[in-house]
Structure 1
Amino acid sequence: MSMVRYQPYGLLNQLYREMDRAFGLPGEHEANGSESATSDWLPSVDIKEEENAFVIHADVPGVEPKDVDIHMEDGVLTIKGERSTVNEESREQYRRVERVRGQFYRRFTLPDTADADQITARMDKGVLEVRIPKQARVLPRKIQIEG
């Protein structure tokens, strides 16, 4: 029996990309074309805004922290990494492979209020948390006019 690789999300992402292209939209599934070109899969993310920070939670089960690279450049936060693939010798024992493996790549444009120098990341139970603090706001002050 040959191994069947079932990828429901791969097909769904392909449909989204084709619909975005058909309507001339950049689309969130293909932000600048580079995500889909360099990714085997895209981890699901939640982004929330707290009073003092932006927080990104990315589902990356099975990915070791050493296999994730996070960097910030020109206001764009990039998260990339890889989930190990099954080696060829052990593939013969599988009847079905549904879990996506390979490289992932996500990019996020940060607002001007983000403090790029204070970004932190941690991983717990397959969820990557990237915390992006907001810059301290300067309170407005009244300027007295002399004379």
Structure 2
Amino acid sequence: MPERRNPFEGVTDFFSEMARMRSVGLHGGAERGTEPTERTHASAWVPATDILAQGDDLVIRVELSGVDPEDVDLRFTHGVLTVSGTRSPDLADDTAEFLIRERFYGEFRRVITLPDGTDADQITAEFEDGLVEITVRNGVSPSDSTKIALADKSEGVTSRKVSRGS
């Protein structure tokens, strides 16, 4: 029986290489030819997230399609909101021969620093159709930043000369 040819072979090489480079950048490289290790909090995938202002409220939307709400953990501590959990692979995938596989499975984690002064009682969360929507009531406030003066101690005009190799 002849081996089945992947009809996307030429196209997927480019995307596979881009995904591999992204993975190496985010999670470090693995030895060539080895199976990827199980994801941990250190190597968890990061779900797509939108953060927006709706009036005075801060709204955070985290895309978690295919994740059971029971597998999502929301924590707020020391001004930091952490959304973590697990997306389990579909049981039907065990017998499938993937031609392209772009979705991540296993542990995920997203950490978001909330504005100073945010209390846990300001935060509510809902899960609907694979989207977690977190609302921080009165989370949008003008920044209370203070400009710091920069003292210039250089003498005269500062210039850098470019030297050319001889």
Deviation at 1:80, TM superposition (A): 0.1
1:6-25 aligned at under 5 Å gives the runs 9=19, 11-15=21-25
Higher radius of gyration, 1 or 2: 2
Once the two structures are superposed, residues 69-119 of structure 1 have per-residue CA deviations (whole angstroms, 9 ceiling, x without a partner) of 0010011000001111245x8523323333211110111111114332121
Cα distance change on mapping 1:15 and 1:71 into 2, 3 Å: same
One-letter code aligned to 1:73:
T
1:22-37 aligned at under 5 Å gives the runs 37=42
1:104 to 79, 84, 108: 108
CA distance in 1, matches of 2:125, 2:20: 27
Deviation at 1:133, TM superposition (A): 1.1
2:67 is aligned with 1:83? no
CA distance in 2, matches of 1:85, 1:46: 24
Q: What does residue 42 of structure 1 align with?
A: 46
Cα RMSD of the aligned pairs, angstroms, is 3.2
Greater helix content: 1
CA distance in 2, matches of 1:42, 1:67: 15
One-letter code aligned to 1:93:
A
Query: Is contact 1:7-1:100 (8 Å) kept?
Result: no
Structure 1: runs of 5 or more not aligned: 19-34, 138-147
TM normalised by structure 1 equals 0.63
One-letter code aligned to 1:79:
V
Query: Is contact 1:45-1:56 (8 Å) kept?
Result: yes
TM normalised by structure 2 equals 0.57
Query: Is contact 1:115-1:134 (8 Å) kept?
Result: no
Structure 2: runs of 5 or more not aligned: 4-15, 29-39, 142-166
Query: Is contact 1:113-1:134 (8 Å) kept?
Result: no
2:102 is aligned with 1:92? no
Query: Is contact 1:122-1:129 (8 Å) kept?
Result: yes
Bigger relative contact order, structure 1 or 2, given CA contacts below 8 A and separation 6+?
A: 1
1:129 to 129, 133, 143: 133
Greater strand content: 1
Q: Percent identity?
A: 33
Cα distance change on mapping 1:76 and 1:9 into 2, 3 Å: farther
Q: What does residue 29 of structure 1 align with?
A: none
